Amino acid sequence: MAETKAGSCLCGEVHYQVSGPLRNAIGCHCGQCRKTTGHYMAATAVDLADFTLTRDSGLKWYRSSDNAQRGFCGTCGSTLFWRADGRDYIAIAAGTLDGETGIRLEGHIFCADKGDYYDISDDGYRYPGWLADGDAGGTG
Ligand SMILES: [Zn+2]
């Protein structure tokens, strides 16, 4: 059983806990993730059953596409979550986790859409779009 981990936005008006295993982080370089983060998204994910909002006074949801929403803090602007309709997990911006995460950035998706001002230089996988199984999270 995974230990409980916590995370928050910058100002503290959104706090969450995860009680199950975190997926390794995936870098998403799609146009939406670039806009919302200012660079690219490094997103982990957890089953919704293992996710609890412990403070949500600042939480806002923005419907960024027909089938997905992005959660952010309306007070401090932190990028926090991505959730697709009908899926049983929530993607979490890895930088919002407190302390040691125990995960790694394992690869990158939507590399075809990445900015021209940086290189992807780690040895993780690189896909031009979605992962092969189409269920990576972190975009849309
Ligand atoms: Zn905040």
CATH number, domain of 114, equals 2.170.150.70
E-assigned strand segments in 19-137: 25-28, 41-47, 51-55, 59-65, 68-73, 79-84, 89-93, 105-109, 125-126
Say yes or no to pLDDT of 128 above 60: yes
Provide the pLDDT confidence category of residue 133 given band limits of 50, 70 and 90.
Answer: low
The number of folded domains in the chain is: 1
Is residue 80 included in any domain, yes or no?
A: yes
What average pLDDT does the chain have?
Answer: 93
Say yes or no to pLDDT of 139 above 50: no
Read off the tokens for 59. Answer: 């939480």
Residue 113 structural domain: 5-126
Q: What separation in Å is there between the alpha carbon of 113 and the centre of ligand 1?
A: 28
Is residue 47 included in any domain, yes or no?
A: yes
Is residue 134 included in any domain, yes or no?
A: no
Is residue 118 included in any domain, yes or no?
A: yes
Q: What separation in Å is there between the alpha carbon of 119 and the centre of ligand 1?
A: 30
What local confidence, expressed as pLDDT, does residue 111 receive?
97
Is residue 100 included in any domain, yes or no?
A: yes
pTM, two decimal places = 0.91
Q: What separation in Å is there between the alpha carbon of 73 and the centre of ligand 1?
A: 5
Is residue 50 included in any domain, yes or no?
A: yes
Is residue 139 included in any domain, yes or no?
A: no
b/e string for 18-38 if b means 16 or more Cβ within 10 A?
beeebbbbbbbbbebbbebbe
